[in-house]
A and B are shown apart, each in its own frame.
Chain A
């Protein structure tokens, strides 16, 4: 906590009466082929934003290789039966559109945004990418080389190395442990593997098309039926994986990055998914701890002690598991001091009730920033996507603010005790071992790795 007495501001104007927060109405439909459609109007600019989601990603196909769904997504935009890569890119520019295709652990998606006046040709192109990607050998070989350089390069980023190690430690044999393929895996990707993944994942029965923007929903729905209506394909059965055991006891994992002039700290423990009834309570707990500028962690190790520029905590939800994490890039000589404060602030939340005034400030923060997304098309799209992809209740957005306001100090403490599991936090530090090993070893049994992932 701050060592200096906190002074109070004088003469602050009171908040005016709040205006009601109204989320735009969603139009829903399900085509005969199984494609789910969610549409919402937002007329801020003469454009629209969209995502075509598929409810499977790298985890689903991890038995074949790591990152296979991601490589499939990369190839999806590089050629179809009708168009070569260059024609696709020029068509996008002609329509004033942006497009990206990617795949995470649980979903694959083609995301796009473009001018409303060209909605029809843009949706046609998206439809073509989802159904007729050609996976040419030439494109695959280029993307393979690109990926090889990328996987070499990412091992020089402290943030990547920290995240990769924490996921391995928390998720063990579960596919969520694997965030990026090895060079050998990339070298071994085969065209048939990618085509297999494409058939398995890119099917209408497995898909959700979500559009937000400047259009009339009924007309847009007709256009969607015309464009995607004759697509067919069966959903592959979702794979189930045994739950990873929760690591017990604090351990420290040092990733040796010679020449580092700073240390990246990342500590985490298992928590919950977005569907869990405690999710909103954990969100408020996180916001108080290290999720907001005004949070305890930031006021302590940045504004009071000056150890770091960018400390933060977050709650990370994957579809089947979630985790709580704290990160800070700190000066090499204050690694131990920073970890001490990180745990001090967690333990305080677990043992001392949050004062009512601080609780109410945090509730105001969380309910307020929730509304900021209302003002832009991609902000709305992101909120609607969260609800749909996580199968949250239909009134989730409408009731969220009331739920945040109802949380009590006692519930917060219970939540911190359950999910901010300081005794079992796994600590990753990425830095130069010569400078930080002694400090790191003070916090638990120490394992040391090099940047390639080999144990030293």
Chain B
């Protein structure tokens, strides 16, 4: 059924750097990414937020491209650049007209080889990151809800449970020695993958990768803390105050099965049955039909890009005249219906078509319309780092399209249980006063 096949080429340099290439000369544009296998989940204890702060430091200068030069060289080549810190990986990426490919590779190699930053750079970026946290979390209605509220309620292992954006005192405590240690431990070629997508031939791409990256010495493979969770035996609940927003909110999250197991594929489609837009059961029931909620959406955050405990999360903003408990009870009836009766064959077929269509868009899609092939890059990188198999991009769809009705009902019964869930209630301070 899947009718899109992407030619993928890959090899490994002597220093352990994996190189993955997807050529397509339709447009004279090339996307380059470097992914390191370290995210905020396994950042050092006592240094919450450090993986993200470190990501900022990677733009602050390397041996041959001092501060301001990295950004200037990409922009003046007609390109855009950014980076992001995720649970288990951190990425750096550029999209440029293809005549800038060699320059981009030179820059990425320079900072992989020799990051060069000072105390002033660290102070500057610590200030920038604090404003980032304020604009995205502390000064916004429902800021950080539920991605920052849920971990401490749901998880017991610090790796999964801490504040990924960083407590300010931890950010303040971070010093240059931490920066250099983190760089030397994780930012090594044998813990990374280089990706080139678009207007580049495999021959040229691999030759340039060899030229710029092979001089970087290999290093000891980093050791990683164990991110696994102790078994959960009870439902977990937490409460957070909403400082600005007007509506009561709640998030309900279930821990997902291990990735690429039959249960994982089935739960991903169950997630679509529940959260697939306005046709999904949760939105249809709570917003369109019973009209308890104003917003009801959810899903698995970055399902292909996560390599440790992850959750299927429902986020609900509901009308003030319904209590948290009444709303939760309504939500539970939706789940019970799937557990008792499963989903129809027609519904399953609809979900599979939509899943396939969404998957194509993921592969093609940019990030906010300015990063061609961001999705393809992300999947290739994660399948390489987690599975050592970038070709999964062309076959993983089959796992989802093979799910059967009985699989959906089975995983609904097995995973959508109180002992596998956590709930965060976020009630407005203002709303409480009004209701009193």
Contacts and interface: CB of A to CB of B under 8 A. Distances in A.
A and B: interacting chains: yes
Interface of A: 2, 4, 6-21, 43-47, 85-86, 89-90, 92-98, 113-115, 142, 145-146, 149-150, 152-153, 156-158, 259-262, 292-294, 299, 302-310, 329-331, 360-362, 364-365, 367-369, 371-379, 382
Contacts of B356: 96, 115
A375 B26 contact: yes
B150 to A, nearest CB: 21
A261 B79 contact: no
Contacts of A299: 68
B420 interface: no
A235 B284 CA distance: 35
B265 to A, nearest CB: 18
Contacts of B372: 372, 375-376, 379
Interface string B329-360: 00000000000000000000111011011101
A309 B73 contact: no
Contacts of B65: 9-10, 12
A19 B319 contact: no
Interface string B57-76: 00000001111110111111
Interface in B95-138: 95-103, 106, 120, 123-132, 134-135, 138
B278 A89 contact: yes
Contact of B99 (A6, A15, A43): A15
Contacts of B129: 309
B435 to A, nearest CB: 15
Contacts of B128: 302-303, 306, 308-309
A1 B373 CA distance: 35
Interface in B50-93: 64-69, 71-81
B291 interface: yes
B279 A361 contact: no
A46 B100 CA distance: 29
Contacts of A9: 64-66, 69, 73
A412 to B, nearest CB: 16
B127 A307 contact: yes
Contacts, number: 249
Interface residues of B, number: 88
Nearest to A259: B243
A158 B370 contact: no
A142 B103 CA distance: 55
Contacts of B199: 19
Nearest to A21: B28
Contacts of A7: 66-67, 69
Contacts of A115: 353, 356-357, 360
A306 to B, nearest CB: 3
Interface of B: 3-4, 24, 26-29, 64-69, 71-81, 95-103, 106, 120, 123-132, 134-135, 138-141, 198-199, 243-247, 276-279, 284, 287-288, 291, 294, 317, 319, 349-351, 353-354, 356-358, 360-361, 363-366, 369-373
B27 A361 contact: no
A261 B64 contact: no
Q: Identify the interface centre among B29, B80, B99, B294: most chain A CB within 10 Å of its CB.
A: B29
15 contacts: A6-B69, A9-B65, A12-B106, A15-B77, A15-B100, A46-B4, A262-B134, A303-B67, A306-B131, A308-B128, A330-B131, A365-B75, A365-B78, A369-B79, A379-B372
B132 A310 contact: yes
A96 B71 contact: no
A332 to B, nearest CB: 9
A93 B95 CA distance: 32
Contact of B80 (A17, A113, A153, A372): A372
Contacts of A372: 29, 79-80, 95, 366, 370-372
Contacts of A306: 123-128, 131
Nearest to B68: A6
A86 B288 contact: yes
Q: Identify the interface centre among B75, B198, B247, B276: most chain A CB within 10 Å of its CB.
A: B75
Nearest to B126: A306
Nearest to A306: B127
B135 A262 contact: yes
Contacts of B246: 149, 152-153, 156
Contacts of B357: 47, 96-97, 114-115
A61 to B, nearest CB: 26
Contact of A17 (B73, B74, B99, B101): B99
A372 B291 CA distance: 42
Given A12-B106, A152-B246, A369-B78, A331 B26 contact: no
